[in-house]
């Protein structure tokens, strides 16, 4: 057994935003990060602590409708290009305007952000079970994970530089995203929607996983004082926790 002590690694976790149980997601992610005792984590609710984020070894984000300033967008993009690793989760790529007469709108308000991430959330069908399948069986981030069904938000996205995205998980689906302004996703054949992908950008990389919706009774204020149910979705799936654990190993620099 080696007596070599691991070197401290500084990380930054952004957990914030709307319409989700951010407290729950924050705690669950911190528990997973705590499996790596040498990782020291600073936590914020937005992306504006530019100095701390860009001095961290890696970034983890779980947000919804958090719209970074242009300065933050550019700084984080430059940090990734320079070699940073960013584990982006669920609604990191979302901007939502609601309520609106024609449904929830997804305004194109942060082009630098979505150009960096490679995608922007547009809509999702009502939460219901769908099948998540492995796209690349040989990639260590998903190897050995059997197809699994989850009742989560299936992200329907607008892709940027799709040819540069490495698909890892997907769902083949077509239909109606009721409640959203851009609701018609019916096609002649089901579309392949990316559930997890990897993007290389300069010397750095982004790993995006769209799973992980969660909501509790008090997360829809001011639209509703009390939401009737508690939603944990993929957080209750062992496959999701395995994907997150591998994602954190990747963020720490593992490539296999």
| 0.95 surpassed by pTM | yes
Q: What is the pLDDT of residue 2?
A: 55
- The answer to whether 30 and 231 are in contact (CB under 8 A) is no
Q: Is residue 2 part of a domain?
A: no
Residue 102 lies in a domain: yes
222 prior amide bond cis, ω within 30: yes
In a domain, 93, yes or no: yes
Cβ-contact 66, 14 below 8 angstroms: yes
Tokens 């062992």 belong to which residue? 238
Domain that holds residue 167: 9-251
**Could you tell me which residues come within 8 angstroms of residue 42 by beta carbon, excluding any fewer than 6 positions away?**
10, 11, 12, 13, 49, 52, 56
Q: Which two tokens stand for residue 105?
A: 């709108």
Give me the tens of pLDDT residue by residue for the chain, a chain 256 residues long. Answer: 456 788 999 999 999 999 999 999 999 999 999 999 999 999 999 999 999 999 999 999 999 999 999 999 999 999 999 999 999 999 999 999 998 999 999 999 999 999 999 999 999 999 999 999 999 999 999 999 999 999 999 999 999 999 999 999 999 999 999 999 999 999 877 899 999 999 999 999 999 999 999 999 999 999 999 999 999 999 999 999 999 999 999 999 999 8
The beta-strand segments (E) located in the chain are 9-17, 39-44, 58-64, 85-89, 119-123, 128-134, 148-152, 156-159, 165-173, 175-176, 184-185, 191-201, 204-209
In angstroms, the CA 142 to CA 140 distance is 5
CATH number where 35 lies: 3.40.50.880
Counting the structural domains of the chain, the total is 1
Residue 1 forms part of a structural domain: no
In whole angstroms, what is the distance from residue 246 CA to residue 103 CA? 36
Q: For residue 108, is it within any domain?
A: yes
Asked if residue 17 belongs to a domain, the reply is yes
How far apart, in whole angstroms, are the C-alpha atoms of residue 146 and residue 134? 7
């Amino acid at each position: 057994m080696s007596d070599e002590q691991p070197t401290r690694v500084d990380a930054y976790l952004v957990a914030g935003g709307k319409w989700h149980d951010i407290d729950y997601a924050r705690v669950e992610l911190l528990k997973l990060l705590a499996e790596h005792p040498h990782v020291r984590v600073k936590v914020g609710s937005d992306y504006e602590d530019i100095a701390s984020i860009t001095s961290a070894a890696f970034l983890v984000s779980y947000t919804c409708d958090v719209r970074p300033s242009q300065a933050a967008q550019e700084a984080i993009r430059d940090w990734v290009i320079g070699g940073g690793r960013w584990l982006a989760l669920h609604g990191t790529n979302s901007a939502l305007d609601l309520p609106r007469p024609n449904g929830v709108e997804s305004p194109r308000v942060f082009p630098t952000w979505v150009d960096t991430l490679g995608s922007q959330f547009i809509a999702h069908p009502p939460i219901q079970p769908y099948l998540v399948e492995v796209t690349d069986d040989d990639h260590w981030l998903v190897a050995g994970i059997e197809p699994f069904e989850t009742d989560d938000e299936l992200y329907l996205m607008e892709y940027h530089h799709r040819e540069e995205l490495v698909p890892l998980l997907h769902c083949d689906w077509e239909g109606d995203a009721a409640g959203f302004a851009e609701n018609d996703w019916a096609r002649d054949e089901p579309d392949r929607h990316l559930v997890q992908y990897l993007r290389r950008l300069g010397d750095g990389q982004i790993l995006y996983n769209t799973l992980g919706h969660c909501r509790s009774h008090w997360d829809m204020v001011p639209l509703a004082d009390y939401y009737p149910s508690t939603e944990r979705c993929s957080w209750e799936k062992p496959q999701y926790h395995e994907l997150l654990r591998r994602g954190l190993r990747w963020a720490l620099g593992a490539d296999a």
